[in-house]
Structure 1
Amino acid sequence: ATPLYTLGITYMDENVPQRSSSFYNGIFYTGSIIGPAIGYMVGAKFLDFYTDVFVDPKSLGLDPNNPKWVGAWWIGFLISGFIGVLLSLPLLAFPASLPGSG
């Protein structure tokens, strides 16, 4: 995320009208606040699934209230990684400078 905060803000600032720059920066920073909050909520839901998705936890005598329960914390990383790759593909087509932004 570091390049996004350093290079992304600069890219937006150079390629949008000056009077709209603060609006786009506000959207960017709002997303950076709301995103992790949503991530925590979704991650909490994934902890209700047993870490080995191919095993029935009831056959092991486990449920989410058992102290030996280990939730599937890793599913969120798989999903967010896949979404990140999909969202980055269109960014590869962006030019270094947008036409008419000079």
Structure 2
Amino acid sequence: MTLDFSWRGVRGCVTLFPNPEMRLRNIPAGGTSVTLTLAEGTREMGGQNIPVPSNGVVPSGTIRTFGPCKPGVYEWTALVKSSTGQVLSEAHQARFYPADETAAKQ
């Protein structure tokens, strides 16, 4: 499974930060929910569990976390789970904020 997003057009430094649009590809069969979390290094910034989108696209503003504020590397993680809670797949995408270049995994 892969996860992709962009910081383009995102306004940081807000407490209840709306997620940017995210695209999940190759979601495993049997996946019913996805937990999306944002982190800066080891600092967890929040996340939420939502139903797996049928088209793989999580629209902007679907979930809320603490927002990126200072420039740095921020990473989204997606965990797809079955109806019993078993983790079926995990994907990560790290990008420099606000520049938007991809970064190595934290």
Fold match (TM-score > 0.5): no
TM-score of the superposed pair, with normalisation by structure 2? 0.17
TM-score of the superposed pair, with normalisation by structure 1? 0.17
Q: Which has the higher strand share?
A: 2
Q: Which has the higher helix share?
A: 1
Larger radius of gyration: 1
